[in-house]
Structure 1
């Protein structure tokens, strides 16, 4: 069995092979899950597709794996993603296991099908009747941008701006952030505490208070 470093090197070779086979529109990314989610990308070919590079943070798909801690996740194949600049990607996520069967790395393939979709739309208009519009592809989000999105979601959940929130409102918002992995992001506690106008001590006491409530129900 190859060592973990040897396995990552093998994955790098596979990534280059896949990207070369399918051309510049095919991005292949390797995530090392032993590293912090802020910088899990250890290899990437054709990073211009999503605008990422080695050392960048995990995507939302990787975060879901870290949050679920599923010991036997199924490979996520042939789904749609969207980059911040609007490219539509056909993506597959393959979970790589170590000698103990635990997921230790992720091989992700993201193929830019934006131009193909334009051709598809033109052909469909000529040969078919109108069909119901497809669901909007999920947006690919870097972990460093994910925290801002989660904070906005927490505010929307409470339904009022921070200036009008009472303690219970802030507890609810912060518990949402905790449950959705916001505190996995480096220095997220400082940013969240500042956003909600509370100290870090108060921030973590809100989390502890909510957890204690859950134990007594």
Structure 2
């Protein structure tokens, strides 16, 4: 690998490792010498995998050298495992010369072992008894609450008010009645205006919804 390319890789490796902290290992392999046993020419946070400069080989290095001029595709965001059992999220990027031949590898290995354990713990903590399509909204006042309930009734019907027929509106009114929306002061006026119905029609729909629910 040319000195200028190596210098850039060293600078980039140091910057990435500093940015993402001690759990982020960055490794530079030099393939130009065709000696996989000492391919690592730079490594930041080597404690992640337990390696150091001069170590090797790794299966990705052997893969790159196996077919001579043939260069494998870059591998991004895949899982690997260190000898001491750490689970790593890895990316392997092949460095090529002007002829497309692999001359180096720039690899990133991030230790996600603790994150995976935390993920499992969080799943147990956030799990609910009943499945929900989305979290319930917490309104700041009753006006906002009524607006949210009206929006929910529209989502329940599955079409905008302009396209609703009588049965659709009865279904929406039934939802609002069941959720206690009409306990909110002046809710009837707002619901009538939103659905384009009279107060008499609203009461009629409520009665119709109650009758349907009692069947």
Say yes or no: TM over 0.5: yes
Residue 64 of structure 2 contacts residue 102 of structure 2 at CA under 8 Å; is this kept in 1?
no
For 1:49 and 1:80, the matched residues in 2 are separated by: 14
Alignment of 1:69-88 (within 5 A): 69=68, 71-88=70-87
Output the CA distance in 2 between the equivalents of 1:23 and 1:56: 22
Shift, 1:116, TM fit:
0.5
Is 1:40 the counterpart of 2:39 in the alignment? yes
Deviation at 1:73, TM superposition (A): 2.4
* Cross-structure match for 1:208: none
1:66 corresponding residue in structure 2: 65
CA offsets 1:30-69 (integer angstroms, 9 cap, x no match): 0000231110000000000000000001211221222244
Distance 2:76 2:30 in 1: 19
Of residues 4, 19, 25, the one that matches 2:2 is 4
SS at match of 1:104: strand
So what's the TM-score if we normalise by structure 1? 0.55
Matched residues in 2 for 1:75 and 1:128: separation? 37
Matched residue of 1:12: which SS? helix
Which residue number corresponds to residue 116 of structure 1? 115
What is the alpha-carbon root mean square deviation over aligned residues?
A: 1.7
CA distance in 2 between counterparts of 1:72 and 1:60 reads 14
* d(CA) in 2 for partners of 1:72, 1:63: 11
Q: Aligned partners of 1:49 and 1:81: how far apart in 2?
A: 12
SS at match of 1:84: coil
**Paired position in structure 2 for 1:97:** 96
The number of equivalent residue pairs is 127
Q: Which structure is richer in relative contact order (CA contacts within 8 A, separation 6 or more)? A: 1
Paired position in structure 1 for 2:170: none
TM-score by length of structure 2 reads 0.56
1:128: how far off? 5.0
| 1:100, distance to aligned residue in structure 2 (A) | 2.0
The structure with the largest alpha-carbon Rg is 2
For residues 20 and 113 of structure 2, the distance between their equivalents in structure 1, rounded to whole angstroms, comes to 15
Question: SS of 1:48's equivalent?
Answer: helix
What is the CA distance between 1:98 and its match in structure 2?
1.1
What is the deviation of 1:86?
A: 0.8
Following superposition, the deviation at residue 72 of structure 1 comes to: 4.0
Taking a change above 3 Å as real, the CA distance of residues 128 and 11 of structure 1, as seen in their structure-2 partners, is: same
| 1:14 counterpart residue number | 12
SS at match of 1:73: coil
Instruction: Name the SS for the 1:111 alignment partner.
Output: strand
Instruction: Indicate if the aligned counterparts of 1:76 and 1:94 stay in contact, CA closer than 8 A.
Output: yes
